[in-house]
Amino acid sequence: MPILYKTEDAINMISGNLRVGVTHQRLKHLDDHGLLGTLTRTKGGHRVYTVQQIEAATVAIAFLELGYSVEEIKILMGTEDLENMSVVAQADYVIAYGRMTTALMNNIDLLRFVIHATSSRGEEIVNDLAKTNLHRKKKLMKASKTKKGLTREERKERVNLENLVLGIKVIKENIENLKKKAKTPLLDTE
């Protein structure tokens, strides 16, 4: 038996993945349009969700955020009943699917460009901060050697510099992860 999640838990999972607000009404809307499959209900009539339904809701909400209609999302997610469509409807489906996949590929290319531009600018910022940080660190070391100890302000600056060094490391790791993600193929083409 699959693990079932209450609506609040599903909302928190989806919101955490997408960084957008998700409401009970939005999940009900997806359910009403058949985008989540058959939902289980508690004895009290409340909806509960499987992991697969939470993933489907996450994908559907992401498409809604990108401006796709519910009908287009049904096509993209494969929830349309193709066998019972007329030939004309099937042809329209294929054309719409082609347009949407082209638009998605364009969005992917745009996101990769943004990732590249962001990581390039991030590298410039990190390099500039590292140079400035090195200069300040040398100045503080020189000050600590010429006196018995550092003043309160110099100690604060030293702590700030240490935090800056940690921040620079995190930014460098994020930039490397962005570069890797931008190069990773999204689909298995085998």
What is the topology classification, in CATH, of domain 5-69? Multidrug-efflux Transporter Regulator; Chain: A; Domain 2 (1.10.1660)
Report the distance separating Cα 111 and Cα 121, nearest Å.
15
Q: By CB neighbour count within 10 A (0-12 exposed, 13-18 middle, 19+ buried), where does 31 fall?
A: middle
Average pLDDT, the chain: 77
Residue reference for tokens 């100690």: 155
Say what the pTM is: 0.50
Report the distance separating Cα 90 and Cα 14, nearest Å.
32
Report the distance separating Cα 56 and Cα 25, nearest Å.
16
What are the sequence ranges of the domains in the chain? 5-69, 89-183
pLDDT, tens digit, 9 for 90 and up, residues 28-38: 999 999 888 88
pLDDT, tens digit, 9 for 90 and up, residues 39-69: 899 999 999 999 989 988 988 888 888 788 8
Report the distance separating Cα 131 and Cα 136, nearest Å.
9
What's the sign of the alpha-carbon dihedral 142, 146, 147, 153? negative
Distance between start and end Cα atoms, the chain? 33
